[in-house]
Amino acid sequence: MRFEDQRDIMVQEQLLARGISDIKVINAFLKVPRELFVTEKWLEFTYMDHPLQIGCEQTISQPYMVAVMMELLELQATDKVLEIGTGCGYVTALLAEIVSEVFTIERIEELLLSAKSLLKELEYNNIYFKCGDGSVGWVNVLPSVSGFDKIIVSAGSPGRPDLLLKQLKEGGKLVIPQGTRSFQELIVYEKKNGNIIENKHGGCVFVPLIGKDGWDD
């Protein structure tokens, strides 16, 4: 079966059938060729409903979980989005299809360089890259940003990500898996009138967020 057909089936069976309704998110999943972000070893499983290994003990996340996180953020075309955990660049591409600018951080240089090369080949010109500690956010790097409309964290944090929340604009949202190394709960933080509001959205499992405001390596 062609990858294009598998992509359509994924959207129908894994996203629409399970309640994902944001048309911007749906269209992004229909457009971005996930097979380009998967290693050859796992190519036949590209559109299956589970995460896949991408090397360096990291994974490309389950499509449904990515869609849930993106929908919870209520992404808008004018948004500046900070992504923590570039990985293979798949979620980066999905975000770049929807929002104005994506600022993405990956601590593993090998993964970042590979993702950057592929995303450039796909002619995404609204993405900025940083290699470093994602748990501290977009600091000491150009272009400088006064704050982000949305922040998405693709790694599990042991606690509230205060350093990232400081970089969230008023009215902005941050989504993050939070809990232990082996199991987390998906949390959405929203900044309203200077206060941080927290909402929980069910269990999940992500690789650990390594860094100053995360887990020790």
pLDDT, tens digit, for every residue of 13-60?
A: 999 999 999 999 999 999 999 999 998 889 889 999 888 888 887 888
Number of Cβ atoms within 10 Å of the Cβ of 174: 26
List b or e across 131-141, with b for residues whose CB sees 16 or more CB atoms inside 10 angstroms: bbbbbbbbeee
- Looking up tokens 């994974």 gives 59
Asked whether the beta carbons of 185 and 114 are under 8 A apart, the reply is no
Q: How far apart are CA 27 and CA 40, in angstroms?
A: 25
Domains of the chain: residue spans and CATH: 3-204 (3.40.50.150)
Question: Which of 21, 61, 100, 182 is the catalytic position?
Answer: 61
Amino acid at 98: I
Full-model pTM: 0.95
Residues 55-110 have pLDDT tens digits of 887 888 899 999 999 999 999 999 999 999 999 999 999 999 999 999 999 999 99
Distance CA 185, CA 157 (A): 10
Instruction: Quote the tokens at residue 144.
Output: 């400088």
61 is catalytic: yes
Phi, psi of 4 (to 5 degrees): -60, -40
